[in-house]
C-alpha cells in the first residue's frame, strides 16, 4: 500500500474542505473511493476532474490501472475556465 498526499484545487478543494491530505492506497481508483465515500459533494466534483500523479497526466487511463508509488502526489484538477 502506497502512502502519499492528495492535493485539491479550486472546486475540489472547496468540496474536500482541505487543500491537501495524506492517503494510503494502491491505485488511483482505490484513492478516489476512499476520499469520496463520506463526501458526496467531492464525489460529484471529481467525476469532472482530471488528475496528475507525480506531475504526469492520468488522461483516459482507467483509475484502477493507475498504480500509486510510495510518496506519490496526486493532484485533483477540476475544469478551469479561461485560458
> Residues 14-18: what's their mean pLDDT?
97
Q: How far apart are CA 56 and CA 5, in angstroms?
A: 15
* pLDDT tens profile 25-72: 999 999 999 999 999 999 999 999 999 999 999 999 999 999 999 999
Q: What is the CATH number of the domain that holds 39?
A: 3.10.20.30
The verdict on residue 24 lying in a domain is yes
The verdict on residue 44 lying in a domain is yes
pTM recorded for the entire structure: 0.93
Q: How far apart are CA 31 and CA 28, in angstroms?
A: 5
Domain that holds residue 31: 2-77
Vertex 25 angle, CA 54 and 33, to 5°: 105
Closest Cα to residue 68, out of 16, 15, 32? 32
Q: How many domains does the chain have?
A: 1
Amino acid at each position: 500500500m502506497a502512502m502519499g498526499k492528495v492535493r485539491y484545487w479550486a472546486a475540489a478543494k472547496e468540496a474536500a474542505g482541505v487543500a491537501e491530505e495524506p492517503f494510503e492506497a494502491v491505485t488511483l481508483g482505490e484513492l478516489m473511493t476512499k476520499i469520496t465515500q463520506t463526501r458526496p459533494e467531492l464525489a460529484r466534483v471529481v467525476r469532472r476532474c482530471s488528475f496528475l500523479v507525480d506531475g504526469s497526466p492520468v488522461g483516459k487511463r482507467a483509475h484502477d490501472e493507475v498504480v500509486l508509488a510510495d510518496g506519490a502526489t496526486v493532484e485533483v484538477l477540476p475544469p478551469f475556465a479561461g485560458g
